[in-house]
Amino acid sequence: MSASPAAPPRTRSREPVVSLMLYHLFKWSIVSPMLHGYFRGRIYGAEQVPQRGPLVVVANHASDFDPPILSNCVRRPVSFMAKEELFRVPVLSQAIRLYGAYPVKRGSPDRSALRAALTQLEDGWAVGIFLQGTRTPDARISDPKLGAALIAAKAQAPLLPVSLWGTQAIIPKGSKWPRPVPVTIRIGSPIPAPLSTQREELDAVTRQCVAAIHNLHDLGR
């Protein structure tokens, strides 16, 4: 890895207007009513979210419901990676692109995800990354990846730690329908981007993000 990140390119301050409109339509018609009504959702710290400019949102991950819940709670669209195959489906491809999804090729997720995430940040999006990479049954982060810190370093974008509490119980093993369990989202203070792309720097910032998320998670309901 190089000693220092390249100068970040000029970025847009916000995501495309049509994507912002789609986000609010989906948020207020489906996600927010379900979060607050069915899951009795609580949100803390939303005022700490930068509403403009590139942002890397990092969180724990325990449920397929996490991406829309997270995007709903930070009050701005959040772009997540999605399987490349989904972008070959007519209509669906256009819809998920407008909603911020970007394709990742199987077999080379690190390279393709990095390039795509940096492009999204240049276009004014917030990019969402689950630090574990996969769902964990206890919603803890035991094996964090360095990708979020690397993306933040290259884009010189702050990282925003978010704790998703209770989502691991939404669909228990053997169930096909979401249960009305209580869900709490806590948003921490932005963490500055790593000063370089050296592994030691990326590891230190990643550990800082994990500690912040676990501290928020430990606050519980």
Indicate whether 150 belongs to any domain. Answer: yes
Indicate whether 165 belongs to any domain. Answer: yes
Helix, strand or coil for residue 217? helix
Q: Spell out, as residue ranges, where the chain has pLDDT lower than 70.
A: 1-11, 106-110
The domain tally of the chain equals 1
Indicate whether 108 belongs to any domain. Answer: yes
Largest separation between any pair of C-alpha atoms in the chain: 49
| Domain carrying residue 127 | 17-217
Q: Looking at residue 203, which CATH number applies to its domain?
A: 3.40.1130.10
Indicate whether 181 belongs to any domain. Answer: yes
**Entry pTM:** 0.88
For tokens 């070959």, what's the residue? Answer: 88
Look at residue 112 in the predicted model and tell me its pLDDT.
Answer: 76
Q: What is the C-alpha separation between 38 and 69, in angstroms, rounded?
A: 13
Look at residue 2 in the predicted model and tell me its pLDDT.
Answer: 52
Indicate whether 136 belongs to any domain. Answer: yes
Indicate whether 10 belongs to any domain. Answer: no
Q: What is the C-alpha separation between 144 and 181, in angstroms, rounded?
A: 27
Look at residue 102 in the predicted model and tell me its pLDDT.
Answer: 79
Look at residue 214 in the predicted model and tell me its pLDDT.
Answer: 98
Indicate whether 6 belongs to any domain. Answer: no
H or E stretch covering 147: helix 147-155
Asked if residue 129 lies in contact with residue 160, where contact means CB atoms within 8 angstroms, the answer is no
Burial of 79 (0-12, 13-18, 19+ CB in 10 A): buried
Quick one: which of 22, 30, 44, 45 has its CA closest to 178? 30
Indicate whether 156 belongs to any domain. Answer: yes
Look at residue 106 in the predicted model and tell me its pLDDT.
Answer: 64
List, in order, residues 6 or more apart from 202 with CB less than 8 Å away: 1, 146, 149, 150, 153, 194
